[in-house]
Amino acid sequence: FLSLFSLSLSLSLSLNSFSNPFSSKSGMDLVKDGWFHERGELWKGQAMSLEVKNILAHYRSDYQDILVFESTNHGNVLVLDGVIQVTERDEFSYQEMIAHIPLYAHPNPKKVLVIGGGDGGVLREIAKHESVEEIVICEIDKGVIDVSKKYLPTLAKGYDDPRVTVHVMDGAKFMEENQDSFDVIITDSSDPIGPASVLFETPFYNVSACVFVCFLR
């Protein structure tokens, strides 16, 4: 029960890491007059703006538009397909909530799976739990991992833990092919559009439930 609760809680808290490969939106198109302006399609009537100090990286990976910029007040900022994923100033509030709540809900978590979470922040927080023996992360876009290691080192330090194993592939496919038992599954995905939508649908939950059933047996 606790494991299923952990999965449900993690999914409800999850926000960002996979994005929409069909989107043609360029992060640079949202930089005007020295400010980055995010206007998310799912969040009508609101916008998020940060002042840009310096553009650090911008290119399109096989899956999404990747932008990293240094802001004047929020440190370095990771943007995927025009949507802010993390800022160095406040990323801890997200990473701590999505990692520690499900981990503390489980009586003795030893094997943890992260779907998404390419910036490494969730890995960093999971690594603080001494009971965890194995941390597996499945991130679809290696580009996110690479830019995070270069421009978000305080998050990407999570990859340095020897308990971490990295798989670069689709999270839903990974779950289908690797139905090993996990004590906790944390889905750190983006909004339910594009490839991330499968992480909010019944087949993914069914496979996840099977993983937990196998563990409970």
62 tagged catalytic: no
Q: Among 139, 179, 178, which residue's Cα sits nearest to residue 159?
A: 139
Of residues 65, 141, 183, 188, which has the active-site annotation? 188
DSSP strand E in the chain: where?
A: 31-32, 35-38, 48-60, 65-71, 76-80, 83-87, 111-116, 134-139, 164-168, 184-188
> Are 21 and 194 spatial neighbours (Cβ–Cβ below 8 Å)?
yes
Question: What are the catalytic residues?
Answer: 188
